[in-house]
Homo-oligomer: A and B are copies of this chain.
Amino acid sequence: MISNIGPRATVDLPGGEAFGGDYIRLAHTAPKPSANIVINFATQQRLVDVPGLVTFGKTRRLCNMGELTATCPELAPAGWHQYVAYAVPRPAIGDFDEKTEIEASLQDLRDEFPGFAQAKMLSMRVMRDGWPAQRSCAGFDLPQTTPLAQPLARGRRGEGLWRRWHPGLRLHRPRGRAPGRSPPGRCPRGGGGVMAVAELQAQVDQARALLARLRPLFEHGVAALARACAPGGQLDGAKLDEQQVATFEIAWASADLLAAETTLARLNGDPLQSQLALIFAVDAIAALLPRLEALCIELGLPLAPLQQLGADADWAALRGAAGGAQALTAAGRALVAAGDAVELGSVALQDPVVMAQDAFRRFAADVVAPQAEHIHRHDTTVPESLLQPMRDMGVFGLSIPESHGGTGPDEGEDATMMVVVTEALSEASLAAAGSLITRPEILSRALISGGTDEQKATWLPRIAAGDPLCAIAITEPDYGSDVASLALKGTRTEGGWLLNGAKTWCTFAGKAGLLMVVTRTDPDRSAGYRGLSVLLVEKPSYDGHAFDFQQPGGGRLSGKAIPTIGYRGMHSFDLAFDQFFVPDANVIGGAGGLGKGFYFTMAGMVGGRMQTSARACGVMRAALRASMRYTADRKVFGAPLQAYALTLAKLARMAARLAACRTLAYAIAEQLNAGGGRMEASLVKLLACRSAEMVTREALQLHGGMGYAEESAVSRYFVDARVLSIFEGAEETLALKVIGRSLLEDALKP
């Protein structure tokens, strides 16, 4: 096999076992700084008629090229287009012949662009090793010829991700500037004016300083609330219930605050990202101040510190400069100039992850998106034409270690990859692609955390392969968020358990061949959550909206899909179990797992919430991009909608929110990878899901009547987004029971 997607991604394709130890070792070493050849030139004939970065798939050395004047026309004299091209020499690490490598790069440019012959060369530089922005492993230091003859040999994974969705045989679509690679310098702002990077940086510093003053005031409020809820030093249930309104408020305040802090902390010098981060931060501070004031009034705390901050001249100056109408429209203009494929948020990804992102976005756009509307409007079941390639690409094994047949790491976890893949798929369809990962995520984590070795060996590779597909049955008609009260009854019988009772909102239960069923195996109901176990129910896979499965021994499981306004394709089922037999082998953890179902279930919840944040980001990205395209095309009162200040301001606010949610989501994925971030996964889920509601609402509004028509994709984004704040932990449950509680507990710690 020859692969040029980089060593880690190459290994991930067929799985690690297929390679020799040497290759694996080479592949898994940390990314290394590669050299870069940077060529600046200008032409009078425009070479590319789209803004953004053009990425090349089949060249000698040339990697990508961007027209700087597409977004910053003032860089060049009138009539000239200025470009920067990046090439990677061979070898990328260590010595190389500069002259030969530069010539190969220039030859690429001549081949790709006939107009390059007339180019005026401005500069040619070789960047080596130490230059920070180029810290990436280009892959050329590893042999492109791998020890594998053909990844197809492993069967299930099919042709592999790269060959199908990253063919490299044609010019890629233009992509937005990758973070960290944006050209330094000046960027347009206001009516043709420019704002120096230094000025933006000063505003960023100002915003950080304000947030740094706000943080202790917030924590002061949390501490006071914690004391009010813990008269005896420990949180008291009744007091917590009394203080629900205040607790709800601090959960939201903490989400806004953390998102603003994180977004400002992770800026990488890209002017548009800075502008958007400032817009989000200004809106967040403006929302936080009255929220915290109300909290202070509620708890009898002094208002003066907040009022002083609110009356601060720095704050007024920042609001005007970075959050005012001019700043909004300028950011909107810069956004529109960057094109709808611009990357928003400060998300620094390793090359293999970028490659996966690219591959999944391509798959989403080429294969999922064309089917998404039909699946939604006809409420059909996710078809095999989507499921099979996702199986092939290893989607169902993202949180299963490679050693168990998955595509996740053997050590630790790779939440970042999960977020990348989920986001990319959700952009094309929340229901028919982006949400497929949640179920194997939850089930495989339950198995990993509690399953016997035999169960892991039996089920994990099959789940990873997407055969069977799986579903999670927790919620019951009378119990939503209240897991400890679940009632579906398992009764001991010879060799196993008989299940009787009902579950509801079991998504994908029809198509799935394996259900994770949280069952009350202890007849003593007072045992609460300690009476629950997780049983694996095997059943045939059904298409359609209802099924009725009879076991030979007389057991029965029937299901009926609940029609919903969106999130269609997987269908969420009402399930009825009637003397349904489950063998002992299918109790997770065996006899030792009885009564531990609650913990096994919880093991997957954090990942499920993280994943849902990514789903929300994908839907937001789709809605924003659709709005950018529509407002460019749609004319009102004689000009494109995008020419109007209000449209630009709306687009800027939507982009700012998406950027903040993405930055936070990826930051928290990193925390999860490092073993932390459990509460924060709920927090970003809270924020991103509500943000998706807001962004899709505005997207629909920008589309006017067309947005309300089912044939426009934004109408689907809008109804789909509405489910996000309900499932995987309803907004209220997360705010009160997870985030609020955790903040209050932390505040009580000495």
Binding site for B on A (CB under 8 A): 241-246, 248, 286, 289-290, 293-294, 297-298, 303, 307, 310-311, 316, 319-320, 323-325, 328-329, 377, 475, 478-482, 485, 504-505, 562-567, 572, 635-638, 644-646, 649, 693, 697, 700-701, 704-705, 707-711, 715, 718-719, 722-723, 725-727, 730-732, 736
Q: A245-B645, A567-B708, A705-B727 are in contact. Are A320 and B303 (CB under 8 A)?
A: no
Q: In the complex, what residues of B have CB within 8 A of residue A649's CB?
A: 244-245
User: Is A244 a contact of B732 with CB atoms below 8 Å?
Assistant: no
Q: A303-B316, A311-B303, A325-B246 are in contact. Are A377 and B563 (CB under 8 A)?
A: yes
Offer 9 A-B interface pairs, CB within 8 angstroms, sorted by A.
A244-B325, A245-B325, A289-B290, A294-B319, A297-B324, A310-B310, A564-B710, A572-B705, A708-B722
A443 to B697, CA, bound (A): 31
Are the CB atoms of B565 and A701 closer together than 8 Å? no
Determine the residue in chain B with the shortest Cβ distance to A308.
B311
Interface centre among A329, A638, A726 (most CB of B within 10 A): A726
Question: Smallest distance from the beta carbon of A344 to chain B beta carbons, Å?
Answer: 21
| CB nearest to A291 among chain B residues | B286
User: In the assembly, what is the distance between CA of A700 and CA of B719, in Å?
Assistant: 12
With A245-B646, A481-B636 already in contact, the answer to whether A726 and B704 are too (CB < 8 A) is yes
User: A646 and B732: CB pair below 8 A?
Assistant: yes
Question: How far is the CB of A319 from the nearest CB of chain B, in Å?
Answer: 5
Given contacts A310-B307, A705-B480, A730-B704, contact A711 B562 (CB under 8 A): yes
Query: Which 9 A-B residue pairings sit nearest by Cβ, starting from the closest?
Result: A245-B325, A244-B646, A244-B645, A297-B320, A563-B710, A307-B311, A245-B649, A565-B715, A482-B637
Query: Does A707 lie within 8 Å of B719, measured CB to CB?
Result: no
The residues of B that contact A732 with a CB separation of less than 8 Å are: 646, 701
Q: Which partner residue on chain B sits nearest A731 by CB separation?
A: B701
In the bound complex, how far is the Cα of B708 from the Cα of A567, in angstroms? 9
Once the chains are docked, how many angstroms separate the CA of A196 from the CA of B211? 42
Per the bound structure, the CA–CA distance linking A725 and B244 in Å amounts to 32
Q: What is the distance, in angstroms, from A725's C-beta to the closest C-beta of chain B? A: 7
Among A303, A649, A718, the one with the most B-chain Cβ atoms within 10 Å of its Cβ is: A303
A298 in contact with B325 (CB, 8 Å): yes
Residues of B near A711 (CB, < 8 A) are 562-563
* Neighbouring B residues of A293 by C-beta, 8 Å: 316, 319
Assembly stoichiometry (copies): 2
Q: A481 — nearest CB in chain B belongs to which residue?
A: B636
Determine if A319 and B297 form an interchain contact, defined as CB atoms under 8 angstroms apart.
yes
- The smallest C-beta distance from A236 to any residue of chain B, in angstroms, reads 14
Q: Which residues of B contact A297 (CB under 8 A)?
A: 316, 319-320, 324
A303–B697 Cα distance when bound, in Å, is 32
- With both chains docked as a complex, state the minimum distance between the C-beta of A87 and any C-beta of chain B, in angstroms: 43
A298 in contact with B320 given A482-B637, A567-B708, A719-B719 (CB within 8 Å): yes
Q: Cβ of A646 and Cβ of B565 under 8 Å apart?
A: no
Apart from A307-B311, A485-B637, 13 more pairs, CB < 8 Å: A241-B644, A246-B325, A310-B310, A377-B563, A475-B705, A479-B636, A480-B705, A482-B636, A564-B708, A565-B718, A701-B726, A705-B727, A708-B726
Q: Which among A242, A323, A705 has the greatest number of chain B C-beta atoms within 10 A?
A: A705
Residue of B nearest to A702 (CB): B732
A730 surroundings in chain B (CB, below 8 A): 701, 704
Contacts of A242 in B (CB 8 A): 645
Q: In chain B, what residue has the closest Cβ to A282? A: B294
CB distance from A653 to the nearest CB of B (A): 10
Q: Are A646 and B726 in contact (CB under 8 A)?
A: no
Would you call B562 and A709 a contact (CB within 8 A)? yes
Residue pair B719, A565 in contact (C-beta under 8 Å): yes
Query: From residue A342, how far is it (CB to closest CB) to chain B in Å?
Result: 22
Cα–Cα distance between A646 and B737 once the two chains are bound (Å)? 12
CB of A264, distance to nearest CB on chain B (Å): 20
Q: Which of A324, A567, A645 gathers the greatest number of chain B CB atoms within 10 Å?
A: A645
CA distance A242 to B377 in the complex (A): 40
Report B-chain residues with C-beta under 8 Å of the C-beta of A725: 701
A311 to B320, CA, bound (A): 21
Cβ of A63 to closest chain B Cβ, rounded Å: 40
Min Cβ gap A612→B in Å is 14
Kindly state the separation between the CA atoms of A323 and B297 in the bound complex, as whole angstroms. Answer: 10
Closest to A572 in B: B705
Which residues of B sit under 8 angstroms from A635, Cβ to Cβ?
A: 478
Q: How far is the CB of A300 from chain B (nearest CB, A)?
A: 9
With known contacts A286-B290, A482-B636, A722–B718 Cβ distance under 8 A: yes
**Residues of the B chain whose Cβ atoms lie less than 8 Å from the Cβ of A566:** 708
Contacts A329-B245, A482-B636 given; indicate if A563 touches B709 (C-beta within 8 A). yes
Complex contact B245–A328 (CB within 8 A): yes
A707 is contacted by which of B646, B718, B726 (Cβ under 8 Å)? B726
List the B residue with the shortest CB-CB distance to A286. Answer: B290
* Cα A645 to Cα B248 with chains together (Å): 10
